[in-house]
Amino acid sequence: MPAETVRTRFAPSPTGYLHIGGVRTALFNWLFSRQHGGQFLLRVDDTDQQRNVEAALAPILHGFRWLGLDWDEGPEVGGAYGPYFQSQRGELYQAAVEQLLASGAAYRDFAKPEELQAEREAAEKAGRPFIYSRTWAAKTPAEASRFEAEGRQSVVRLKMPRQGELVLNDLIRGEVRFAWASEQDHVIQRADGSCLYHLASVVDDEAMRISHVIRAEEHLPNTPRQVFIAQSLGYTLPAYAHLPYVAEPGSKTKLSKRKLDKYLKNRDFAALMELGSSIARRAGFETTADTFNPVIVDFYERVGFLADALLNYLLLLGWSFDAEREEFSRDEMIEHFSLERVNKAPASFDPQKLLSFQDRAMQRLPLKQKVKKCLPFLQAAGLVSEPPPCDTGPYLSQVLTAAGDRVKVAGDVLDYAEFFMPDNAMPYDEAAFEKRLVKAPAAKALLADYVTELPSVAPFEPAALEAHLKTFIERKGVKIGDVVHAIRVAITGKAIGFGLFDALSILGRERSVQRINRALAIAQTKQPRPS
């Protein structure tokens, strides 16, 4: 085999969002090219010419940048084989169409839509597959002018072989066979002269010297006609590798952006969505189902996922290294990836497993970077000004250290919003306040005594605070559980949170005392309701 350069591509159509399944396809392309020291390119499939290609492409390119999947050629970076927008490559396609027409691999077809429809229906009725009869194919220029004189319009169709078979050697699926006779004479050029995807794709892959076409399985049935085009044009075929698609959680159906409502009935998917929504709500993000949803990559960035964790999870969705290993750094992914070890069966998207990759990646993240990741969420929520005061860094570091593994995605920092609120404006979890203070006179009394002792605890740090509380409960002859919950609710407003002594220490003596006194005062005004 000749040592040719490996060049792979991902060809998004500008739809305004980056689908999670698309990312996995792009990742495999990217890994394969990086591993072989080749190039990875982005080509925009905009033959359908929409109005706002640029606007619809921006979120996609943004997603690639966030993920760190850099492209060597394509939009915004250029390259020697441009332009990288199919809408700008019309002449190439036109030339290919003419060549196909000249060689007899394609023909002008003058059938009217209703005539085609009639054939289709007849075939269906007879229970046989619909293959166009070529009744309105112009065999000679004279015939073409006659059809035109009748007022017919023409498209260009592929003249597919009607016998023999195509044996395709797919890098993932092995040998796949198709009977030529069951392939339709597909249209490659519309009546208005614009060209269709299959033609454009094949022409571009050749012009851009793509060596490996790595794409999702749904393209497998398209491959024969593309091979036919390539061969008719005298191209050398790229190697094909058809990836299994990413399926819905708990199902084998292809994951699609449109079925959010259905996925929300899946417990794990709903939990992931709720995690995101709750963060978006507290951070004050504007969200719509079109842009904020776990099928779209943007979701993960906005909620505070780590790109490496997402990529690692996606890597394992359809690919494995061995029986044990699941964690891969970016360099390790590049080193170990191989198409041979890609699975053939579709893999369903598992939100919980993704979360566990994220969880572990976050645990490994150095504190400094964690701070950097979390800060924007506090700012979005209006809890920290922009630019942040200079003591924010150290303070946030303390909070994040105390929170430890509890902050799984960066947006989770909002679980500790109370540390960034003014003491007299911190809200209380009503149920917790009621249970631990209003309805717990003993705890309330202990808390009242406890707060009077706080000024003398020194240093005001976790170890000393813990030692003090220990002697406090001994003197009172109570258990730690009798007072600890009341303190927590008083200083954080919540029943749950990280270590109590860390919380006290972070807030400091003055704020702790203030918060406890405020809680005591409010509890005083509320009569315990007889239950």
* Euclidean distance between CA atoms 419 and 491, whole angstroms: 9
| Of positions 95, 118, 122, 191, contacts RNA by CB under 7 A | 191
Enumerate residues 411-440 that contact RNA by CB under 7 A: none
Nearer to RNA, 73 or 204 (CB): 204
53-61, 318-326, 330-338, 448-456 -> range binding RNA (CB under 7 A): 318-326
> From the CB of 228, what's the least distance to RNA, in Å?
14
**Which strand ranges, in their side-by-side order, compose the sheet holding 187-189?**
106-109, 155-158, 187-189
> From the CB of 527, what's the least distance to RNA, in Å?
26
| Of positions 222, 392, 397, 514, contacts RNA by CB under 7 A | 222
Instruction: Quote the DSSP letter at residue 100.
Output: H
Enumerate residues 498-527 that contact RNA by CB under 7 A: 498-501
* Euclidean distance between CA atoms 473 and 425, whole angstroms: 30
- Residue 219 binds to RNA (criterion: CB under 7 A): yes
Query: How crowded is residue 72: how many other Cβ atoms within 10 Å of its Cβ?
Result: 16
Nearest by Cα to 171 from 8, 348, 5, 3:
8
Nearest by Cα to 317 from 297, 341, 291, 293:
341
β-bridge mates for residue 19, sequence order = 296
Nearer to RNA, 49 or 524 (CB): 49
| Of positions 247, 309, 446, 506, contacts RNA by CB under 7 A | 247
| Of positions 79, 82, 161, 250, contacts RNA by CB under 7 A | 250
* Euclidean distance between CA atoms 18 and 37, whole angstroms: 26
Nearer to RNA, 173 or 518 (CB): 173
- Residue 352 binds to RNA (criterion: CB under 7 A): yes
- Residue 318 binds to RNA (criterion: CB under 7 A): yes
Nearest by Cα to 337 from 29, 42, 10:
29
- Residue 364 binds to RNA (criterion: CB under 7 A): no
What the block records as the tokens of 470 is 């220990």
Nearer to RNA, 181 or 289 (CB): 181
What the block records as the tokens of 310 is 């997402």
| Of positions 7, 19, 468, 488, contacts RNA by CB under 7 A | 488
- Residue 482 binds to RNA (criterion: CB under 7 A): no
Nearest by Cα to 206 from 95, 350, 303, 319:
95
- Residue 259 binds to RNA (criterion: CB under 7 A): no
What the block records as the tokens of 483 is 């007072």
Enumerate residues 45-74 that contact RNA by CB under 7 A: 45-48
Report the alpha-carbon angle 34-26-92, nearest 5. Answer: 95
Instruction: Quote the DSSP letter at residue 150.
Output: T
Please state, in angstroms and as integers, the Cα–Cα distance from residue 320 to each residue in 18, 22, 82, 357, following that order. 24, 19, 35, 15
Site map 457..476 versus RNA, x via CB under 7 A:
---------x----------
Please count the residues of this chain forming the interface with RNA, following the rule CB under 7 A. Answer: 86
257 is catalytic: yes
281-289, 295-303, 313-321, 392-400 -> range binding RNA (CB under 7 A): 313-321
Please state, in angstroms and as integers, the Cα–Cα distance from residue 98 to each residue in 108, 162, 201, 285, following that order. 11, 22, 16, 52
* Euclidean distance between CA atoms 450 and 511, whole angstroms: 15
Nearer to RNA, 285 or 400 (CB): 400
What the block records as the tokens of 463 is 């170890």
Enumerate residues 150-189 that contact RNA by CB under 7 A: 153, 155, 173-174, 176-179, 182, 184, 186-187
Nearer to RNA, 282 or 360 (CB): 360
> From the CB of 113, what's the least distance to RNA, in Å?
6
| Of positions 143, 301, 326, 429, contacts RNA by CB under 7 A | 326
Q: DSSP 3-state assignment of 163?
A: coil
What the block records as the tokens of 368 is 């400094």
| Of positions 62, 134, 190, 435, contacts RNA by CB under 7 A | 190
- Residue 480 binds to RNA (criterion: CB under 7 A): yes
| Of positions 228, 245, 419, 420, contacts RNA by CB under 7 A | 245
Nearer to RNA, 39 or 86 (CB): 86
Site map 94..113 versus RNA, x via CB under 7 A:
------------------xx
Q: DSSP 3-state assignment of 410?
A: helix
| Of positions 72, 148, 350, 429, contacts RNA by CB under 7 A | 350
Nearer to RNA, 38 or 173 (CB): 173
* Euclidean distance between CA atoms 465 and 295, whole angstroms: 47
* Euclidean distance between CA atoms 230 and 254, whole angstroms: 29
- Residue 274 binds to RNA (criterion: CB under 7 A): no
Instruction: Quote the DSSP letter at residue 305.
Output: -
Report the alpha-carbon angle 246-251-254, nearest 5. Answer: 35
21-29, 250-258, 329-337, 382-390 -> range binding RNA (CB under 7 A): 250-258
33-41, 72-80, 99-107, 246-254 -> range binding RNA (CB under 7 A): 246-254
What the block records as the tokens of 367 is 């504190």
Question: E strands within 114-265?
Answer: 155-158, 165-170, 174-179, 187-189, 212-216, 239-243, 246-247
Q: How far is CA 171 from the centre of its chain?
A: 26
Nearer to RNA, 365 or 500 (CB): 500
Enumerate residues 378-417 that contact RNA by CB under 7 A: 404-406, 408
- Residue 348 binds to RNA (criterion: CB under 7 A): yes
| Of positions 9, 89, 108, 198, contacts RNA by CB under 7 A | 198
Out of 254, 257, 435, 439, which one is annotated catalytic?
A: 257
Nearest by Cα to 42 from 99, 107, 97, 86:
86
- Please identify every residue annotated as catalytic: 257
